Every structure is written in structure tokens, then in C-alpha cells.
Structure 1
Amino acid sequence: MRVELLENAERRRCWSFDDKARIVEASYEAGVSVCSVARRHGIAQGLLFTWRRQAREGRLGGDAQAPVLVPVAIAPEPSRPVPAAQSDDPRAPAPPRRLRRKSGVIEIDLGGGRRLTVDRDVDAGALRRVLDALEGR
């Protein structure tokens, strides 16, 4: 058995917009195959086809702006509740109400919009069987 250690593995190359555009343009020349252009530049054919599609759609990356960090300030919560704005418009949504929860009720969010509500006195074994069934075990 042969074991080969790879050190200093080459990282992905970052192609500039000009390089991508030049390679895509070369792939459209008459009598040239996409395979030969990709091989000549050391890229996968699939990557070249992706660049060609992006160029057709105008998304190859020439005009894209680099991401920018935006400063954010987090304001402290007010110490007392702020009253909701009053509106005479009957179509205006009602202000949200705080729901009172029964003491001893446990809500389990199962994801996918599913929620299981059980009483605090639920049998742990029965709950485990229900949860296992819901998870398909």
C-alpha cells in the first residue's frame, strides 16, 4: 500500500474579472473547444461553463461591488414599555398582546413549524416514545 502525504496544498486560485472575461472570450473562438481552453488555463470544464453562463447573464463579476462592513449601534432597551401608537384607521393592525402561559406547560419546538405542548406532569417515558416517533426512529 502506498501512502502519499500532501504538504502545502495549493489553494484555490482567485481569478480576476479580466482573466475570467479573457478565458470566456477564448472559449467562444471558432474552431476551439471548451475542453481545450479549460485545459490550457488549468481549470475544470464545469467552471468554464459556469463562467460562460454568468457572462451571458451579465453576472460574471465585473461590476460587482466588494462587500462592505457597516457600523451598527445597539441601543439599550427602554426601562419602561413604550406605548403603541394610536391609530384611527380601523384597518390598522392591533398592537401585539402578551399571552399568559399556564404554569407547568412545556412547549417543545420540533422545527418545520411543528410544536408539541405537554403538561408538566407528563410521563417522561411516554414523552420519549412520542418524540422518537415524531423523529422517525
Structure 2
Amino acid sequence: MTDHSFMPQVEVLSVTDTGRRRRWTDAEKLRIVEESYSAPRMAAATARRHAISRSLLTRWRREARQGRLSAPESEMHFAPVAITANADQRAETERGDACSGRFEIVLQNGRRLLADASLEASALARLVQILERA
């Protein structure tokens, strides 16, 4: 008679053996999120390209909007700028008060920052980052 074993052979695969669980740095997440915004309807294609689920990309996009994904402090980012003259600025120009050396920055979240022209660029960059996250 053959020897039968009632104990089934089980092979245990950990998550690291299959390679499915990956660790993404905030910088990598931001790069993928920025890529997904590069053109309309690119979220699904970007998720497929990086082999992640669309729901994970959606979560990363939400975290980026809320300021919970942050790039390293050393990285500098450029933002689109539009110079406009509104009614208050025109009134100041007519009165001669516009030479005060102040400017206003309107952030994407709607906050406004009125700063003096003598403010250092590094201090201004820190203020903008703080106000964007708040």
C-alpha cells in the first residue's frame, strides 16, 4: 500500500515574494500624480503604465490636493503667473501710492498673500508652501 499523507502541502507566498507590495516615496507619488494631470482623461492610462490601481491613483491625487503629499523642501516649483491690474490698483496708481513696492499673490486655493518687494525669495517660498497646505 502506498503511504498517503492527510496533511496537504501548503506553499506560503509572502507579499514580498510576489512583488505586489511596493513602497512609493512622496516624490514618486507626486511625479505620477503630475503625469496623470498632463492631459485630459489620463488617470486610467497613467495607472496602467505604473501598474497601480485607479483607486490608488485617485487617493494620491486627493492627498496631493490636500497638501498631504509633499516634495522635498529642496525642490523648487514654478507656478503660472498672471499680472492683472484691478480697480484698486488703478486707483492707487492714480493717487501715486503704487510705488510702495508691494505685490499680491493669489494662490490656487483662493488665499491671497500681500508681500513687500524686499521680502527674501526663500522666505516667500516658505510662506507660499504654508498657505497652500493650510
Whether the TM-score (by the shorter chain) exceeds 0.5 is: no
If the TM-score is normalised by the length of the shorter chain, which range does it land in?
Answer: 0.3 to 0.5
- The structure that is helix-richer by fraction is 2
Q: Which has the higher contact order (CA 8 A, sep 6+)?
A: 2
Q: TM (normalized to structure 2)?
A: 0.39
